[in-house]
Amino acid sequence: MSKKVSHRKGFLFAMKRVLSVQDISCLGKCSLTVALPIISAAGLEGAILPTAVLSVHTWFKSFTFHDLTGEIEPIMSNWQENGFDFDGISTGYLGSFRQMELVEELFRRFDHPGMLKVVDPVIGDNGKFYVGFDPKFAKRMAGLCGHADVIVPNMTEAAFLLDRPCRNGRICEEKYVRELLARLADLGCPRVVVTGVSFEKGKYGAAAWDAETEEFFTCFGEEQPGTFHGTGDIFSAVLFSMLVKGDTFPAAVQMSVDFTVESIRQTLRNPDHIAYGVEFERALPLLFETNARD
Ligand code: PXL
């Protein structure tokens, strides 16, 4: 029988511990290789539950894929045996229906008042599903979203979760986004952030809805040219970290926009920048600064 021992309580300056559940793409900047440095820079203890190991992410023409589904249950049972708990659990890329079921089990087993559950429904971008995903997968992901406190889809994922066609073009109307957010909250998640939103040329960012307070807000930054892989994972890792640290919902979304824009801006300074990820490492000082006030 597991004993509930928090190894951190009782220390005045105990760090908060968070868990990130997603794949390890060994090379290519996304999922755990970006989430962990962001969590650490934000001053949180990062634990990981890798769902698969890939040579590179699926944006590349070829990749290896080693599924780790069989490890998930034994790892969570072992954590329970050792008495560990988390201040937050965040999920990203999940490779199968079974993994979504296991994440729901993880949420159940480690739930306690104040434990934040963030789901980034990683299924597609730029109007298309990522390799291996389809409308059936999106429907199951919508079910998982119903178990989260916060979800962070991009505009493509938001449409796919609701089984709607994607709209063309970057600029959209506020009315459309407000309705999208309300329908996403109807999935059962009280706080929704949609990324990749623009109402006018030159401004790009996120729109959010808090169904409990009925508050709608937007956070924009200066629009940067081009599209970059992995920015959604960066955005959700910053949002997750800032919420666990106790930021208000609008402040956490604004920080996530600022950090993502700064990562892209730094990337574009390098004329030989890589297309498969951004130089988010250069933006990490923005997060160090948030620790001074903790
Ligand atoms: O960035 C999202 C992501 C995460 N993990 C893997 C991916 C992708 C998007 O393509 O392929 C393996």
CATH at 192: 3.40.1190.20
With a 6 Å cutoff on the Cβ, whether 233 touches ligand 1 is: yes
Q: Which backbone phi and psi does 193 adopt, to 5 degrees? A: -125, 125
In a domain, 10, yes or no: no
Q: Which residues of the chain have a pLDDT value below 70? A: 1-13, 293-294
With a 6 Å cutoff on the Cβ, whether 52 touches ligand 1 is: no
Q: Looking at ligand 1, which residue's alpha carbon is closest to its atom 8? A: 57
Residues 6+ apart with CB under 8 A from 209: 178, 181, 182, 184, 185, 191, 192, 215, 216
In a domain, 28, yes or no: yes
> For position 7, what pLDDT does the model report?
56
d(CA 33, CA 73): 22
In a domain, 70, yes or no: yes
In a domain, 290, yes or no: no
d(CA 3, CA 62): 45
Beta-sheet strands, E only, within the chain = 17-27, 45-56, 65-67, 88-91, 116-119, 124-125, 128-129, 150-151, 191-200, 203-210, 215-222
> For position 1, what pLDDT does the model report?
41
In a domain, 11, yes or no: no
Give the mutation target among 23, 27, 30, 63 for probing the ligand 1 site: most ligand atoms within 8 A of CB: 30
> For position 11, what pLDDT does the model report?
54
In a domain, 3, yes or no: no
d(CA 34, CA 39): 9
Query: How many domains does the structure of the chain reveal?
Result: 1
With a 6 Å cutoff on the Cβ, whether 30 touches ligand 1 is: yes
Q: Which domain range does residue 205 map to?
A: 17-282
Give the mutation target among 20, 24, 25 for probing the ligand 1 site: most ligand atoms within 8 A of CB: 25
State which amino acid sits at residue 142: A
> For position 2, what pLDDT does the model report?
44
With a 6 Å cutoff on the Cβ, whether 93 touches ligand 1 is: yes
With a 6 Å cutoff on the Cβ, whether 256 touches ligand 1 is: no
Q: Take residue 205 and report the two structure tokens written for it.
A: 């960012």
In a domain, 289, yes or no: no
d(CA 111, CA 28): 32
In a domain, 4, yes or no: no
What single DSSP character describes residue 245? T
